[in-house]
Amino acid sequence: MRTPEQIELSRLQNRLTKRFHKACADYSLIENGDHILIALSGGKDSLALVELLGKRAQIFVPRFKVTALHVRVKERAYISDLSYLQSFCDAFRVPLLVRDTAIGEDSESSNPQILKSSNRSQSANPCFLCSWYRRKALFDAAQELGCNKIAFGHHKDDIVETLLMNLIFDGKFSTIYPKLQMDKMPLQLIRPLCLIEEKDLRRYAELRGYVRQKQPCPFEHDSARTEIKALVSQLEALNPNVRDSLWGAIARR
């Protein structure tokens, strides 16, 4: 007889899988012949993305390839267990690559557009710079490998929170979207977890026994996004379905 935890895991796995497939179908995220590069940070969201895309790639139609890339930024004191990431990717038949990068290692770091993360900060924001260099490494690797898409582990809460951040700090109605075609390179950015809520991913990671990073990013609990998460929790006191309401506003744009 199955334990309550096993029953919960099975139900949660089915829910995540259904929402993953719905996102892929609704937004045409996966097509025949794709080579998708997965941005694998080592957190719960990117691990779930490797699991879901790895399983999907083993189904005959559509035929596509996946490769995971873990980027390490020299100046950031977070440590991932590479042996665990390798074994995790191996379990889902996803090749893993690891790239190292450093902030300011090229001439582009002097570009004022890089050093200004948004209207709310005229100086180098550590999270922005880390993200910029990680993405640059992802874009470079995608083109070297012949990938036509990069998959990120952003979930529904990320998209809603980004909308609020842009409204509050930049005065514009915009967010990250399930699919985005890059202007200057033949790459699409896709977010197959866009219909999945963070609380489901968090619980799934607990039940599946995902291993956390050995040392998390020192800035992960000291950012505007952390404050926005708290704001959304406060808004839930007014409307328990506030996340769905904000998502609906995005979907109707």
Q: What is the pLDDT of residues 98-151, one digit of tens each?
A: 999 887 655 444 444 444 444 444 344 556 677 788 889 999 999 999 999 999
Q: What is the mean pLDDT of the chain?
A: 87
β-strand pairing of 65-73 with 188-190: unpaired
Residues 6+ apart with CB under 8 A from 168: 228
Range(s) of the domain holding residue 170: 4-251
In terms of DSSP H, where are the helices of the chain?
Answer: 4-26, 44-57, 82-91, 112-115, 126-145, 156-165, 198-208, 224-238, 242-251
Spatial contact of 250 and 242, defined as CB atoms under 8 Å apart: no
Count structural domains, the chain.
1
Residue with tokens 């109707």: 252
- Percent of the chain topping pLDDT 70: 85
Could you give the CA distance from residue 72 to residue 114 in angstroms, rounded to a whole number? 19
* pTM of the predicted protein model: 0.88
Q: Which residues of the chain have pLDDT under 70?
A: 75-78, 104-128, 214-222
Looking at residue 60, which CATH number applies to its domain? 3.40.50.620
How far is the CA of 7 from the CAs of 14, 111, 252, in angstroms? Answer: 11, 53, 36
